[in-house]
Amino acid sequence: MALVQTPVLNHLTGEEYEADVELQRGKDDGPLGGDLTDEEEAQVEDDALTEKERTFLKEFPSWEKNEKEKIRKLYAIADDIDKKHRKATKIKIVTDSASVVSGVMSLLGLVLAPTTSGASLLLSAAGQGLGALAGVTNIITNIKEGFHEERAQAQANSIMPASDRELEDTKGKKTSYVTAAGDIVYKCGSAWENIRKHKRALQITKTHPHVTSVAKELMTAGESLTQNSRQVQKAFGGTALAMTKTALLRKGVGDAIFLGLNIYDLIEEYKDLKSKKPTDFVKELRMRAQEWEREISKLTCYYKKLTKVRVGLRKGLGDKLRFVEPCRTARVKGA
């Protein structure tokens, strides 16, 4: 990870840098002794330290402060996205619960169709309306979550070093807002049309009870061809009252499968909320921040070592301190 923005700090880690510094050092590196004035001590430091070392000691504190602030912002972005993801998960749990209730109502509507047409139509219409509302809410939640993640990705790329930018899209593809908008329009339009058909059918059951009786006979007998079948289709088309026994069974199986899938989604969302597992994008951000911290920790270690050398020069211990065992890097957040 290329963390250093200035040429002076661009080659500060590893044995190659220290070897390069040693080549620039004067031939006379022997221990110094005796009392020195402040001016003499400053001259000793200037003579014993290389140009790179002196510049590094001067620039590193402000550079370190700036880099740590960037890392703090990177962690803040990750925490914010993690918080928004948990909020979105809670909303999805509510919408998945609504989808389950919708599925139960639709199944009950099918079961009651041969006996109580009015209750069947009301349950079916309410179930389809609730299901559409849950579906639209889910789509909007996914759009918002994707938007927040894309914006956070742009912010993180503006903070990170140039060589580490362009975070990968962890979902493999960007949210298609056009497709999502199309899904919303379709779900709303379909739900409205179904509710309209059920409302019309409910009115017919009250005004034309004989047509309702014929519809019940079709559902009970399982016959699809009678002299009144066209009249039933015209009156109750798009509702359970217009189906034969076989069609009701097929519709019931399909609705039961969708109900099972909704229950599975609900359980998975609940597990996700309880586990507090971060998204791949959040894990990626935190991993980059930890790598960044490790690089800074290495440079901080070198800075402390070089500071000891500068102090030791005044005591005649400069050369010995150059070869002390390197300090251990600090433990980074989350590592």
Look at residue 326 and tell me whether its pLDDT is greater than 60. no
pLDDT at 230 over 60: yes
Q: How far apart are CA 112 and CA 334, in angstroms?
A: 57
Q: Is the pLDDT of residue 17 over 70?
A: no
pLDDT of the residue at 7: 37
Q: Residue 275's CB: how many other CB atoms inside 10 A?
A: 8
User: 169: closest CA among 157, 160, 185, 182?
Assistant: 157
Question: Which of 3-12, 64-73, 191-200, 203-212 is the least confident region?
Answer: 3-12
| Whether residue 270 has pLDDT greater than 90 | yes
> Residue 62 has which token pair?
């402000």
Name the band, by pLDDT with cuts 50, 70 and 90, for residue 228.
low
**Least confident residue range of 34-38, 72-76, 134-138, 303-307:** 34-38
Mean pLDDT of 187-207: 90
Please determine, for residue 10, whether its predicted confidence score (pLDDT) is greater than 60: no
Whether 79 shows a pLDDT value over 60: the answer reads: yes
Vertex 187: Cα angle to 127 and 147 (nearest 5): 120
Using the predicted structure, report yes or no on whether residue 66 has a pLDDT greater than 90. yes
Residue 271's pLDDT band (cuts 50, 70, 90): very high
Domain ranges of the chain: 8-191+256-321
- What residues contact residue 245 under an 8 Å CB cut-off, 6+ apart? 218, 219, 220, 221, 222
pLDDT digits (tens, 9 = 90+) for 109-165: 988 888 888 889 999 999 999 999 999 999 999 999 988 988 998 898 888 876 565
| 109 vs 330, residue with greater confidence | 109
Q: What is the pLDDT averaged over residues 169-196? A: 77
pLDDT grade for 54, boundaries at 50, 70 and 90: confident
Q: Does 49 score more than 50 pLDDT?
A: yes
**What pLDDT, on the 0 to 100 scale, is given for residue 160?**
81
Per-residue pLDDT, 257: 94
Q: Is the pLDDT of residue 88 over 70?
A: yes
317: pLDDT strictly greater than 60: no
With beta carbons less than 8 A apart as the criterion, state whether 179 and 205 touch: no
Strand (E) or helix (H) holding 192: helix 177-207
Listing DSSP states for 226-295 in one string gives: -TTHHHHHHHHTTSGGG--HHHHHHHHHHHHHHHHHHHHHHHHHHHHHHHTPPPHHHHHHHHHHHHHHHH
Quick check: 294 and 329 in contact, CB under 8 A? yes
What's the whole-model pTM score? 0.71
- pLDDT score for 170: 45
**Can you tell me the distance from the alpha carbon of 13 to that of 16, in angstroms, rounded to the nearest whole number?**
8
Local structure of residue 7 (DSSP, 8 states) = S
* Average pLDDT taken over every residue of the chain: 78
pLDDT band at 23 (very low <50, low <70, confident <90, very high): very low
DSSP string of 111-139, one letter each residue = HHTTT-HHHHHHHHHHHHHHHHHHHHHHH
Q: Where are the beta strands (DSSP E) in the chain?
A: none
As a whole-number percent, the residues of the chain with pLDDT over 90 amount to: 38
